[in-house]
Copies of this chain bind each other. A is one copy, B any other.
Amino acid sequence: MKRTKQMRQSELKSTIEATPFITDETLANQFGVSIQTIRLDRMELSIPELRERIKSVATQEWNETVKALPIEEVIGEVVDLELDQRAISILDIKAEHVFSRNHIARGHHLFAQANSLAVAVIDEELALTAESRIRFMRQVKQGERVIAKAFVRGDDDKGRTLVDVHSFVENEEVFAGTFEMFRQQESKE
């Protein structure tokens, strides 16, 4: 049964509201229409493209600044940040991030995105990684966009801050890491 344009646009709107990080490609597949149709629908509905959507959703509440390092030293683009709570960054996988032979993203770039986000989320002038446990769930290819989400779990008994980072391509998890962060407490001596 063919949906009317109105029905499709209504569903499209609610789909994007529910999963704001969904791409036009995925939407096109899901609705059985061309990417061009999705783009036209978005324009008519005044829904911005994914990148703008991520930024605008994220920055609504983002009025904090990275403390532990200059923002330009974060690998990837920080689009959301609440110090000692959570942070989100985007990394587009380009030629310089992949193995030349098979165009699979090299592990240390996914690690760098996640690790620098774990540093950035810490509300302290000095934050260093002490330990980490990471998993690469599936290969990431050149051209894909990785969205890393950091979540601060709290402090352990050694006073280290535990940060969980999960990285996604569209809605599929590609990387997960736990980072034990050492932080320099501001001394009041």
Contacts and interface: CB of A to CB of B under 8 A. Distances in A.
A128 B135 contact: no
B131 A136 contact: yes
A116 to B, nearest CB: 7
Contacts of A79: none
Consensus secondary structure, chain A interface: mixed
A126 interface: yes
Contact of A132 (B70, B100, B126, B134): B134
A102 interface: yes
B75 A108 contact: yes
Interface of A: 69-70, 73, 75, 99-102, 104, 106-108, 111-112, 115-116, 126, 128-136, 139
B136 A99 contact: no
Contacts of A111: 108, 111-112, 115
A107 B133 contact: no
A136 B118 CA distance: 15
A129 B70 CA distance: 30
A108 B102 contact: no
Interface centre among A102, A130, A134 (most CB of B within 10 A): A134
Contact of A135 (B99, B126, B131): B131
A136 B130 contact: yes
Contacts of A136: 128-131
13 contacts: A70-B101, A104-B128, A106-B112, A106-B116, A107-B115, A107-B129, A107-B132, A108-B108, A111-B111, A128-B139, A129-B136, A130-B136, A131-B133
Nearest to A133: B133
Given A108-B115, A131-B134, 7 more contacts: A70-B100, A73-B106, A111-B112, A111-B115, A128-B136, A129-B136, A130-B136
Contacts of A129: 107, 136
